[in-house]
Chains A and B, each alone.
Chain A
Amino acid sequence: GENVEQHPSTLSVQEGDSAVIKCTYSDSASNYFPWYKQELGKRPQLIIDIRSNVGEKKDQRIAVTLNKTAKHFSLHITETQPEDSAVYFCAASNLSGGSYIPTFGRGTSLIVHP
C-alpha cells in the first residue's frame, strides 16, 4: 500500500517568513495530493490540492509543487501570519483505483511567531 512521509514534524518561523513542508510517497500510481489544515481543537479542512498532470498550483499565499519523478510534493506558504499556525497534513491517493482512500502523512505543526 501507499506510504506517505512528512517532514518536518514541527516548523517554527517568524511572521512574514516563508514556510515549506515536504512529503514523499511510495506508490508511483498515486495521482491526487491534497493538503489539509487543522487548527488547534478544530477539524481538518482542505486548503489546496494538486493532481499529477500539473507540476504546481497556487492560491494566494499558498502553493503546492509536485515532482512525480522523485515522488515528492511540497506545500509553500509565503508571508506567514499568526493565523497560519496549525497542523498541516499531506495525503496521497490513486484516483484510478475505484474507492478514494487517501493515505495521510503524520502532520507538521507550524508555529508562526508574531
Chain B
Amino acid sequence: NAGVTQTPKFRVLKTGQSMTLLCAQDMNHEYMYWYRQDPGMGLRLIHYSVGEGTTAKGEVPDGYNVSRLKKQNFLLGLESAAPSQTSVYFCASRPGGGSYEQYFGPGTRLTVT
C-alpha cells in the first residue's frame, strides 16, 4: 500500500495563476482532510470530506475549492493564487468507524510569487 500520496511535491506559482493539488489514498478511508502548515501556526484545516461526493469548509477555506468525486481522491484547487497562500499543504485521511488516527500525506510545498 502506498498510503496517502500527494501530487506535486513542490510548485511555484505566480500571483493569479491557478492549480490543483491531488491527494490519493489506497486504504479505502471514508474521511479526507486538507490542511495548511505555516511556521508557528500548526495545522489549520482548509476543507474536509466525510465521504465520496461530500465536502465541507474548515477553519481557513477562503481562496480554495475542493472536490471528492472518487472515494480515493481529494482535490484542492486554488483559482487565483495569492502570496498569502504560500504554505506547505498536507492531506490526511482516516478510516472512520471509531478509528480517529489521521494518516498524512508527504506534503506539497507551494510558493506564490
A107 pairs with B100, CB closer than 8 A: no
For the side of the interface on B, what is the size category?
20 to 34
Q: With a CB–CB cut-off of 8 A, which chain B residues contact A45? A: 104
CA distance A49 to B42 in the complex (A): 18
Contact of B102 among A46, A99, A105, A106 (CB under 8 A): A46
Given contacts A99-B56, A101-B48, contact A46 B105 (CB under 8 A): no
For window 31-86 of B, CB contacts with A under 8 Å fall at 31, 40-45, 48, 50, 56, 58
B100 pairs with A49, CB closer than 8 A: yes
Interchain Cβ contacts under 8 Å between A and B, 20 examples: A36-B102, A42-B106, A43-B104, A43-B105, A43-B107, A44-B43, A44-B90, A44-B102, A45-B104, A46-B102, A49-B101, A89-B43, A93-B100, A95-B100, A99-B56, A100-B94, A100-B100, A104-B44, A106-B41, A106-B42
Residues of B within 8 A of A (CB): 31, 40-45, 48, 50, 56, 58, 90, 94, 100-102, 104-107
Closest 7 pairs between A and B when the two form their complex, measured CB to CB: A43-B104, A106-B42, A104-B42, A104-B43, A46-B101, A44-B104, A107-B42
Residues of A within 8 A of B (CB): 6, 9, 32, 34, 36, 42-46, 49, 89, 93, 95, 99-102, 104-107
